[in-house]
Amino acid sequence: MTDILEFLKNEGLNRELIDGIRDFKAKYASHNEYNSRIPEPEYLYYGKDTWEEAVAAILAGRNILLAGPKATGKNVLADNLAAVFGRPEWNVSFHINTDAAYLIGTDTYDGQKVVFRPGPIYLTASNGGFAVLDEINMAKNEALAVLHSALDFRHIIDVPGYDKINIAPDCRFIATMNYGYAGTRDLNEALSSRFVILSMKPIDEADLIRLIKRSYPDIKDNFAAQFAKLFAEIALKAENAEISEHALDLRGLLDALSLIRMGLKAGQALELCIVNKTFDEYERGLIKDCINSRIPAELDRLAVFGA
Amino acid sequence: MIKKHYSSNSRKALNVIWNAAGDYDFDPPFLAFYSNGHPDFYFNVIIGLTKKWLDIDKITAFIDSYSYASASDEYDEYVWLALESCLYDKEIGSRPALSDLRKAHAEEFFRIQQSLSKQQMELMSMPVYTQQQARWSAVTGRKMPLMSPKEHKIYEALMFPSELDTDVLIQRLSEFLKEYFRFDPEASDKEAGRHKTGLFKKLWGRHKYAQIKNTGHLIVRTGTGDGDPANAVLLKQENGFNRTAGDDAEARAYIESCFGKSLYPEAELSNIESVLCSGDDIDCKLWFAEDKSSHKHTPTSPDVPAQNENRTESARSVENKSPDKTDPCDYSSLQLSKQALREISNAKSSVNEQRSKNIDYFRKHSMQINESIRKLSSELETVISSYLKHLPEPSERGILDTKKIYRLAVLGDQKVFLREGDEAENNLSLTILLDASQSRMNSQELIASEAYTLSESFVKAGISVQILSFRSIKGYTVLSRLKSFEDKRSDGVFGYFAAGWNRDALALKACGHMISDIQKKEHDRQHILLVLTDASPNDSVPLAPKPGEKRPGNYEGLTPVENAREAVEELRKSGIKTAAVFHGSTAHLENAYRIYGKEYIRIRSLAQLAGGIIDLMQSVLRENVPE
| Domains observed in chain B | 8-221 (no CATH), 245-381+426-623 (3.40.50.410), 392-423 (no CATH)
Report helix, strand or coil for A107: strand
pLDDT tier for residue A31 given thresholds of 50, 70 and 90 = low
CB B291 within 8 A of CB B469: yes
Helices (H), B116-184: 118-123, 126-140, 149-157, 166-181
Cβ burial, residue B602 (10 Å; 0-12/13-18/19+): middle
**Which segment of A28-42, A262-276, B356-370 scores lowest on mean pLDDT?**
A28-42
- Which chain B residues are closer than 8 Å to A289 by Cβ? 12, 15-16, 19, 41
What ipTM, to 2 d.p.? 0.77
- Which chain A residues are closer than 8 Å to B15 by Cβ? 237, 242, 286, 289-290
- Neighbouring residues of A257: CB distance < 8 A, sequence distance ≥ 6: A212, A215, A216, A219, A227, A269, A304
pLDDT surpasses 60 at B294: no
Of B1, B41, B419, the CB nearest to A101: B419
Convert the pLDDT of each residue in B429-461 to its tens digit. Answer: 999 999 999 888 888 998 999 999 999 999 998
CB A57 within 8 A of CB A21: no
To the nearest whole Å, the CA of B529 is away from the closest chain A CA by 21
To the nearest whole Å, the CA of A4 is away from the closest chain B CA by 33
**Which segment of B184-193, B275-284, B578-587 scores lowest on mean pLDDT?**
B184-193
pTM above 0.90, yes or no: no
CB contact under 8 A, B15 and A185: no
CA pair distance B177, B156, nearest whole angstrom:
14
CB contact under 8 A, A293 and B367: no
The predicted structure's pLDDT at residue A171: 94
What's the rounded mean pLDDT across residues A144-151?
86
Percent of chain A with pLDDT strictly greater than 70? 96
pLDDT tier for residue B91 given thresholds of 50, 70 and 90 = very high
CA pair distance B530, B259, nearest whole angstrom:
23
CB contact under 8 A, B397 and A106: yes
- Using the Cβ of A237 and the Cβ atoms of chain B, whether some distance falls under 8 Å is answered with yes
- Using the Cβ of A294 and the Cβ atoms of chain B, whether some distance falls under 8 Å is answered with yes
The predicted structure's pLDDT at residue B390: 65
To the nearest whole Å, the CA of A307 is away from the closest chain B CA by 20
The predicted structure's pLDDT at residue B335: 66
What's the rounded mean pLDDT across residues B585-599?
87
Q: Across the beta sheet with B600-602, what order do the strands follow?
A: B285-290, B476-483, B464-473, B428-435, B526-533, B576-582, B600-602
| Dihedrals phi, psi of A66, to nearest 5 degrees | -95, 110
- Which chain B residues are closer than 8 Å to A241 by Cβ? 611
CB A130 within 8 A of CB A80: no
Handedness of CA B262, B266, B268, B270 (dihedral sign): positive
The predicted structure's pLDDT at residue B550: 63
CA pair distance B172, B393, nearest whole angstrom:
80
pLDDT surpasses 80 at B523: no
Please report the DSSP string for B21-86 in residue order. HT--SS--SEEEEETTS-B-HHHHHHHHHHHHHS-HHHHHHHHHHTTTSTTHHHHHHHHHHHHHHH
Q: Which amino acid is at B254?
A: Y
A 122-161 residues with CB < 8 A to B = 138, 140
Convert the pLDDT of each residue in A32-64 to its tens digit. Answer: 788 899 999 988 999 999 999 999 999 999 999
The predicted structure's pLDDT at residue B531: 96
To the nearest whole Å, the CA of A14 is away from the closest chain B CA by 35
Partnered with residue B570 across adjacent β-strands are: none
pLDDT surpasses 60 at A181: no
- Which chain A residues are closer than 8 Å to B19 by Cβ? 233, 236-237, 289-290, 293
pLDDT surpasses 60 at B239: no
To the nearest whole Å, the CA of A159 is away from the closest chain B CA by 12
What's the rounded mean pLDDT across residues A129-134?
94
Interface test with A, best of B386, B387, B426 (most A CBs within 10 A): B386
pLDDT surpasses 90 at B392: no
- Using the Cβ of A196 and the Cβ atoms of chain B, whether some distance falls under 8 Å is answered with no
Q: Which residue has the higher pLDDT, A92 or B392?
A: A92
CA pair distance B416, B425, nearest whole angstrom:
22
Cβ burial, residue A153 (10 Å; 0-12/13-18/19+): exposed
CB contact under 8 A, A236 and B100: no
For chain B, what is the mean pLDDT? 79
CB B183 within 8 A of CB B69: yes
pLDDT surpasses 90 at B551: no
CB A156 within 8 A of CB A168: no
Interface test with A, best of B16, B19, B420 (most A CBs within 10 A): B19
pLDDT surpasses 60 at A119: yes
Convert the pLDDT of each residue in A224-238 to its tens digit. Answer: 999 999 999 999 998
CB contact under 8 A, A237 and B18: yes
To the nearest whole Å, the CA of B100 is away from the closest chain A CA by 7
CB contact under 8 A, B614 and A114: no
Residue of B nearest to A243 (CA): B15
pLDDT tier for residue B193 given thresholds of 50, 70 and 90 = very low
**Which segment of A126-130, A190-194, B52-56, B186-190 scores lowest on mean pLDDT?**
B186-190
CB contact under 8 A, A282 and B8: yes
